[in-house]
Structures are given as structure tokens and as C-alpha cells.
Amino acid sequence: MFGGAGGNKFDMLKQMKKMRSQVKTMEKELAVLNFVGISKNKLLSITLDGKFQMKSIQIEDELLEKKDKGLLEKSIQEAYTKALQDAQAGAAKQMQAMGGFPGLGM
């Protein structure tokens, strides 16, 4: 009854359901991970979760007291870039740990 082409469709649906389940599991696991990027001057930090959503930004009083807009902007860029790079690497590592997604080249 499920042989031939019909069987292939059934198998594909099973695989798609399994992949959806894996994606949901991975999203839940990524959401609880935190990645902190710190500016080079160590006066600003940004925390992202594994889904690249910003969770917090911390600015040291010393940076605010300088009243240097350019320095503040540069510090934000540095911290965000570092946090994003770490979050992307963490997401890739998490995906590998889960066996990737066969059939999608991951």
C-alpha cells in the first residue's frame, strides 16, 4: 500500500516532521544560551542569546563620564560584533552536536 512513489512521499513527510522537531529543540536550546561581547576598552558589554536577540547592554559609568559619542558608538560596535560572532559560532556548534540537518548539507 505504501510502496513505490507513495512510500517515498510518506518517508519524506516523516523526515520533514523529524527535522521540524529538531529545529524546535535547537531553537529552545539556543534561546537559553548567552554570548557576551566586550568592547576593547572593557567599558561596554552586550549579551545576545543563541538566536541573536539582544538580552542586555551594560555601560560602565566611566564610559558615560567621558561624554565621547564616537567612543561610545565604537564600543557598541565592538561589543556587538564580538557577541554576534560568538553566538554564530555557538549556534553552528549546537547544530553540529545535534547531528546537523541531513539532506540540507548541514
Strands 44-49 and 54-59: antiparallel
Higher-confidence position of 97 and 76: 76
User: Which whole-number Å values give the CA distances from 8 to 17, 20, 104, in the listed order?
Assistant: 14, 18, 17
pLDDT digits (tens, 9 = 90+) for 39-70: 999 999 999 998 899 999 999 999 999 999 99
What pLDDT, on a 0 to 100 scale, did the predictor assign at position 102? 52
pLDDT of res. 1: 44
Q: Using CA atoms, how far apart are residues 6 and 68, in angstroms rounded to an integer? A: 67
List of domains in the chain? 23-97 (3.30.1310.10)
